[in-house]
Structure 1
Amino acid sequence: MARSSAVVFTDLDATLLDHHDYSWQAAGEALAVLAAHEVPVCIVTSKTAAEVAALRCELANGHPFATENGGAVAVPQGYFEGAHCDANTPLDVTTLGAEREILRALVERLRAKHGFRFTGFGDMGVDDVIEATGLDREAAAKALDRAASEPLLWQDSEEALDTFCGAVEAAGLAVRVGGRFVHVLGQADKGDALTWLRARYERAHGPILAVALGDSGNDVDMLEAADIGYWVARPDGSYHGSAMGHIRHARGIGPAGWAEAITALIAHHEI
């Protein structure tokens, strides 16, 4: 195992990545310090495996990761057996949630029955995703390549959203409200992904200190499952959740807040 027993689990959008330009540069120095301390950084995101693959190459990140809000977990082959892994190491992927086809069929049925107003990724082409997210064409195509979730641009009322969530849950599936999208997924969330990965780290290396960072509703389960959780500030400076118990507030928005949290943990010898 690493010199440190800590493992960092992080959301991407508006957390490690800037909400507006998707840059991680404000967290670059903190990432370098974690690498020097051999602290794994495991991405846990609503993004797809195709999107994460490109970012992992950019970050030189060869650690396990979870996609589509915990719907699937990917582990580089040989990682927990001590093999040297990088961003290009072949992956073993485990589906924790539900297949995308099941999710898409449900939201279409609910829209037809109740008249809910939303636009799902299944309704969108690449140009629509570009308009909704600001991603470039290549990145937008990767965002559409989904396996275990169906994101929706919600265009109806909060009351309608409550009704929709109840109907999805009654069907045995789940809804998570993220920074940009409402995500329909199976009964697996980011907290389940953290717990699944923690078990494998601990089986291989002994107890870990799980640190989790996020900014929105779909990060709640992950922060609750961690030993130390951090809310980073949202673009308007507010926080999604309170600082209480093992969950703290990072001083800063997005990747700047992410860096502040990591710097504080290292300064206080917590990791």
Structure 2
Amino acid sequence: MTKNIRNAVIFTDMDATLLDHDTYDWAPAAGALAALAERDIPVCLCTSKTVAEVRDWQARLGLHTPFASENGGVVAVPAGYFESCPPTTDAEWQTTTLGKPREALCALAYRLREQRGYRFTGFAEMSIADIGAATGLGRHAAARAAQRQASEPLLWQDSDQAAAAFSREIEAAGAMTRRGGRFLHVLGHADKADALAWLRVRYEARGAILAIALGDSENDRAMLAAADIGYWVARTDGRYYAPATGTIRHAPGIGPAGWAAAINALIDRAEL
């Protein structure tokens, strides 16, 4: 195994970044993931997916590392991974909620819809079949996607102007919204950047780390800014969500191919 000389940690979005937007395929990133594993560099998934979904994906990707789910509303750590994490009744995972409970977020979002007439459909209103149709997931995967703790994804069916007004009202009420690849997410005041910071404190109890973050959407912006090096991965149309500025770069490629290109460039330049 090659030594991780920079004590790097990768924080990465999943959909349309590590995974293909349409097929959820990650094969183009497999070689880069193997190179990170060889260097003993942890890969922490930071995603809108639920704990149940991420644990399933961790098994597929061969990862046993901390992760953030529901856009940073929840962090999960393998039991015993960090000495500073408190004991838990779960023999395998220690889970901490950073945001607000889903019930409070749903009450807020649906009350605003009733009062203002916003047009959207939330996960709480959808059947498993509806969630599958909206996401392209199979039945079992859609059932895992429905197991939310600290967020409510909305299938937005109104204008961008209405979305902006809705977001302002959500923020005025003490919560916030984040746009992902498919949904407008309502969550408490904890996002992927907060999850990165929470995990960074615990990693740095062992020594300073080089935090590298990759994403493609609005809900990744704060995480990329909070990292030492951030990468925008190109979206399906080949465009980037935002310019490359300061410590934030553009990965040369779309989805998992762009993700792999960014990781390989870091390795080639001896930044990892």
Q: Which residue of 1 aligns with 2:155?
A: 153
| Secondary structure of the corresponding residue to residue 79 of structure 1 | coil
Q: Work out whether 1:130 is the aligned partner of 2:168.
A: no
Number of positions where the alignment pairs a residue of Structure 1 with one of Structure 2: 265
Q: In 2, distance between residues paired with 1:158 and 1:58?
A: 36
Q: In 2, distance between residues paired with 1:19 and 1:215?
A: 10
Q: Which residue of 2 aligns with 1:71?
A: 73
Question: How do residues 22-101 of structure 1 correspond to structure 2 at under 5 angstroms?
Answer: 22-81=24-83, 90-101=92-103
Aligned amino acid, residue 59 of structure 1: L
Which runs of 5 or more residues in structure 2 are unaligned? 85-89
Q: Which residue of 1 aligns with 2:87?
A: none
Q: In 1, distance between residues paired with 2:56 and 2:5?
A: 27
Q: Which residue of 1 aligns with 2:254?
A: 253
Query: Is contact 1:44–1:70 with CA below 8 Å preserved after alignment?
Result: yes
Select 1:186's aligned residue among 185, 188, 192.
188
| Secondary structure of the corresponding residue to residue 161 of structure 2 | helix
Q: Which residue of 1 aligns with 2:168?
A: 166
Select 1:19's aligned residue among 18, 21, 26.
21
| Runs of 4 or more above 6 Å deviation | none
Q: Work out whether 1:214 is the aligned partner of 2:215.
A: yes
Which runs of 5 or more residues in structure 1 are unaligned? 83-87
Deviation sequence 1:152-182 (CA, Å, 0-9, x none): 0100011111110011001000100111000
Select 1:8's aligned residue among 7, 10, 22.
10
Deviation sequence 1:208-230 (CA, Å, 0-9, x none): 00000000000001000000000
Question: How do residues 114-129 of structure 1 correspond to structure 2 at under 5 angstroms?
Answer: 114-129=116-131
Q: In 2, distance between residues paired with 1:47 and 1:178?
A: 11
1:81 positional shift: 3.8
Identity %: 60
Q: In 1, distance between residues paired with 2:61 and 2:15?
A: 15
TM-score by length of 1: 0.96
Aligned amino acid, residue 135 of structure 2: T
Aligned amino acid, residue 239 of structure 2: S
TM-score by length of 2: 0.95
Query: Is contact 1:117–1:155 with CA below 8 Å preserved after alignment?
Result: yes
1:235 positional shift: 0.4
Query: Is contact 1:231–1:249 with CA below 8 Å preserved after alignment?
Result: yes
Q: Work out whether 1:139 is the aligned partner of 2:166.
A: no
Q: CA RMSD in A?
A: 1.4
Query: Is contact 1:149–1:186 with CA below 8 Å preserved after alignment?
Result: yes
Aligned amino acid, residue 267 of structure 1: D
Q: In 2, distance between residues paired with 1:191 and 1:218?
A: 9
1:270 positional shift: 0.4
Deviation sequence 1:164-202 (CA, Å, 0-9, x none): 001100100010011100000000000000000000000
Q: In 2, distance between residues paired with 1:19 and 1:159?
A: 25
Q: In 1, distance between residues paired with 2:71 and 2:156?
A: 17
1:59 positional shift: 1.2
Q: In 1, distance between residues paired with 2:255 and 2:92?
A: 30
| Secondary structure of the corresponding residue to residue 135 of structure 1 | coil
Query: Is contact 1:4–1:38 with CA below 8 Å preserved after alignment?
Result: no
Query: Is contact 1:65–1:73 with CA below 8 Å preserved after alignment?
Result: yes
| Secondary structure of the corresponding residue to residue 16 of structure 1 | coil
